[in-house]
A = this chain, B = another copy of it.
Amino acid sequence: MTNKSKRTELHELGEFRVIDHLTERAKSINKSTIKGVGDDAAVINMDGKKMVVTTDLLLEGVHFDLTYFPIRHLGYKAVIVNLSDVFAMNALPKQITVSIGVSKRFCLEDLDELYSGIYMACERYGVDLVGGDTSTSYTGLTLSITAIGEAKDEDLCYRSGAKLNDLLCVTGNLGAAYMGLQLLEREKKVFEGNPNIKPQFEGWDYILERFLKPEVRKTILEELHIAGIKPSAMIDISDGLSSEAMHICKNSKVGCRIYLEKLPIDQQTFKIAEEMHIDAIVAALNGGEDYELLFTVPIEFHEKILAIEGVSVIGHITPENTGAFLVTPDGNEIELRAQGWNALKEE
């Protein structure tokens, strides 16, 4: 570490500003680099065909808790998180690399479970495991996955393509994964207080699965393609709807209005949120880890979009100077905040 007198704490800036700061010097010198830092994935030109590359680092204690996260599910989810970024470029994932760091707490049978989940996700989404790195670690499990995908140039969807009056659409529903996590954390605390109390998970299968075993909306992308609808902008929801909508607005130089009563929220999400005294709307806006797709389409596709099951139109794109707001049923406007997941929060 440096001996310089100045010391700027990372949590003062937050994840997005730290990334901006560190990557502002990243100029591309290779012609093949089409898109560098700043979207769901990088885009590389290979004799016409476009390759997309994305990577995620998952650290035990920060991103997952193995006291309630089955290690096989962790392997599955770690792959999904990366494939989600590839699909969010409207590309098809083809290969992954998997690097792991493991402490001696883990035995070969644990790694077999982890890789079972990894291979299961690979098989379901037609992806090949092509490389990686294996190392010892002093502190639990570290997982780093890189996914590679392909797309035709004309199919690629960036965050930057949203246009005035485009419809803002989202797949599936929001906030369920976050509530699944809250339930797991609650039952963990109860169990730690009294190990004789059995965790209460009955009836909550859906929200638990949304957190523990998320899927990617591949079929919806196929339906959009068949219907001749190409999203003008797209992003996957990992940090929460507010944060991702703001990414689209910032990159596309537009504003947006999202209508509160249009937010797709599952009944189970509402039910557990009520039980736990959490606002389901806040979970939907800022919970994150939904791995749904947020995208924009030109307004002429309105009817066609409504015909596609599993897609909700939640708002529209406005001029940049109008900002990004949530509109309540009584017409109040609440400014969206990039709450995000803040991976650099103070420990």
Please give the residue numbers on chain A whose beta carbons come within 8 Å of chain B beta carbons, in ascending order: 1-2, 4, 6-11, 13, 15, 18-19, 21-23, 25-30, 32-33, 35-37, 41-42, 44, 46-49, 51, 53-57, 59, 61-63, 66, 71, 94-95, 97, 99-113, 115, 119, 126-140, 142, 144, 146, 148, 150, 343-347
Contacts and interface: CB of A to CB of B under 8 A. Distances in A.
A189 B4 CA distance: 25
Contact of A107 (B8, B28, B37, B343): B8
A158 B21 CA distance: 39
Contacts of A135: 15, 57, 59, 62-63, 343-344
Copies of this chain, tallied across the complex: 2
A55 B135 CA distance: 12
Contacts of A13: 108
Contacts of A32: 94-95, 150
Contacts of A27: 128
Contacts of A26: 119, 128-130
B104 A9 contact: yes
Given A23-B129, A102-B10, A111-B22, A344 B134 contact: yes
A53 B10 contact: no
Contacts of A113: 2
Contact of A110 (B2, B97, B126, B130): B2
Contacts of A142: 57, 59, 101, 142
The secondary-structure label for the interface of chain A is mixed
A328 to B, nearest CB: 34
23 contacts: A2-B113, A9-B107, A10-B104, A10-B108, A15-B135, A23-B132, A28-B130, A36-B128, A37-B129, A37-B132, A44-B95, A51-B51, A53-B146, A55-B132, A55-B146, A57-B99, A57-B100, A59-B135, A62-B135, A103-B347, A104-B346, A135-B343, A139-B139
Contacts of A56: 99, 133
A18 to B, nearest CB: 6
A115 B37 contact: no
B130 A97 contact: no
Given A57-B99, A59-B137, A109 B7 contact: yes
B42 A343 contact: no
A21 B144 contact: no
Given A2-B113, A8-B108, A46-B49, A59 B134 contact: no
Given A28-B130, A94-B30, A110 B1 contact: yes
A71 B133 contact: no
A66 to B, nearest CB: 6
